[in-house]
Structure 1
Amino acid sequence: MAVLEVNGLKKVYTTRFGGSRVQALTNVTFAVERGEYVAIMGESGSGKTTLLNILAALDRPTEGEVFLNGRALSTIGEKEIASFRRQNLGFVFQDFNLLDTFTLQDNIFLPLVLAGKHFPEMQAKLLPLAQQLGIAELLQKYPYEVSGGQKQRAAVARALITSPQILLADEPTGALDSRASDSLLSLFGEINRAGQTILMVTHSTKAASHAGRVLFIKDGVVFHQIYRGGSTNEEMFHRISDTLTAMAAGA
């Protein structure tokens, strides 16, 4: 069953004084099944960030529609959109987006605080999640006191604590060293195998090779896609590399 349906998305930006129009997305159509792990790749300027912003209900398409669990995002009013986003979507960003004046625990609690949840309920959700992510001993530390990999794990906990329909990750390994990246990608695999739907935008061939499906965006359209099937991560890596080479060559 599709948790996310994207139908005929088009996005056109007009410059400040209306002098020119830039078409970021042309006709993007795809679906994400519940429990899938999908990576989106493409060169800078290909439209993948615009696409992610629309999927996150942070931007509206010029044409087309996005459905989350059958509900059209265009039908959600401005007063409701923040609550809808908080209840249904989890976000992991390249630069963590943690508040330095909050402990890791308070950063993780933030979406539940905004939703009006009580401390006992928040604590009950946090403890098993912190154990799973390996940050239970760090909860009273501040972001500036922990490593980049530990910050990203706290950001993942914050994204997951609301039990989102989809985890949206924007270049989640972009600010991490290779060891922390490997650890995070392993963690994403565990989370996905437990049933969490993940949609990740990345430039990293290695990161994308961990996904079950890879969508390639070029010039605002879905250029190609690869399904894992029985491929290993190494085989996926080579298939993705070959596709990126073909895209760069204009094939």
Structure 2
Amino acid sequence: MALLEVKNLKKIYSTRFGGNQVQALSNVNFSVEEGEYVAIMGESGSGKTTLLNILAALDKPTSGEVLLNGKSIAAVKEGNIAEFRRANLGFVFQDFNLLDNFSLEDNIFLPLVLARTPYKDMQQRIMPIAEKLGISDLLKKYPYEVSGGQKQRAAVARALITDPQIILADEPTGALDSKASDHLLDLFSGINKSGQTILMVTHSTKAASHASRVIFIKDGQVFHQIYKAGMSNEELYEKISHTLVVIAAGGNANE
């Protein structure tokens, strides 16, 4: 059984007074196996952000369902949604979403504090993660005292510390320079190799080339998929680039 299953997902938004409707997603179907590293790509307005919001339980589909380990996200009661996210999902955002008046350590601890985890357990969890991400000596610093790449590594630590079933990353390299982006993508690859499932929405061909599979969304539907298999990052980069050109030209991705 797949870890994440997306079945016949449709999302229709109505304008403020209900006069017009916009279909953001139309019959989206795909699954993610445990331990996979999946990138989702598409032009602006393709529906990928709407899809990510539904997977994150931040929005609800008009029809269809999302299953995490065989359980419907829609079945989670409204009052339990926040707890569900903390227990099952890790989030990495483009703009880091760190609190400036909290140290990096306190930012990383935040989901555990909200879950009322004992401080001793929090300390035991943070050190191996901080060492893996190379931020052990930065934990007492504040976000405004560190670089963008260091902020993003702290954000990744916050996502990992709850031991989530899946990490959802939204343009994680979008606010980083090329060196910091390369470092983060190497970290993501290492985290994935250790068994962590990752689903990343990105505009970056380079970021997507690190994934094991790339799903392309066009006009609210799954347009094409590429499996990395035995390809190198460079070879996958070329395949992705070709597909994006085809999408922009309105052609067939198999051409």
Asked if 1:70 corresponds to 2:70, the answer is yes
Residue in 2 that maps onto 1:47? 47
Measured on the aligned residues, the alpha-carbon RMSD in Å equals 0.4
**Superposition pairs of residues 16-55 of structure 1, within 5 angstroms:** 16-55=16-55
1:74 and 1:101 map into 2 onto residues whose CA distance is 34
Quick one: distance in 2 between partners of 1:74 and 1:202?
A: 25
Q: Residues 70-219 of structure 1: matches in 2 within 5 Å? A: 70-219=70-219
Give, in angstroms, the shift of residue 152 of structure 1.
Answer: 0.1
Identity of aligned residues (%): 73
Q: Distance in 2 between matches of 1:39 and 1:53?
A: 15
Distance 1:5 1:79 in 2: 23
**CA distances 1:117-167 after superposition (whole Å, capped 9, x unpaired):** 011000000001000000000000000000000000000000000000000
- TM-score normalised by L of structure 2: 0.98
Which 4+ stretches in 1 moved above 3 angstroms? none
**Over residues 156-184 of structure 1, what are the superposed CA-to-partner deviations in whole Å (9 max), with x where a residue is unaligned?**
00000000000000000000000000000
Residue 74 of structure 1 and its aligned partner are, at CA, apart by: 1.2
Q: TM-score, normalised by structure 1?
A: 1.00
Unpaired segments of 5 or more residues in structure 2?
Answer: none
Tell me the equivalent position of 1:225.
Answer: 225
Determine the C-alpha separation between the residues in 2 that align with 1:93 and 1:104. 15
**In structure 1, distance between residues paired with 2:206 and 2:129:** 26
Q: Distance in 1 between matches of 2:191 and 2:145?
A: 26
How far 1:39 moved relative to its partner?
0.1
Q: How many residues of Structure 1 are paired with residues of Structure 2 in the alignment? A: 251
Identify unmatched segments of 5+ residues in structure 1: none
**Letter of the aligned partner of 2:62 in structure 1?**
T
1:74-99 CA-to-partner distances (Å, cap 9, x unmatched) read 11110011101110000000000000
Q: Cα distance, 1:19 vs. partner?
A: 1.6
Alpha-carbon separation, structure 1, partners of 2:158 and 2:179: 22
The amino acid across from 2:107 in the alignment is N
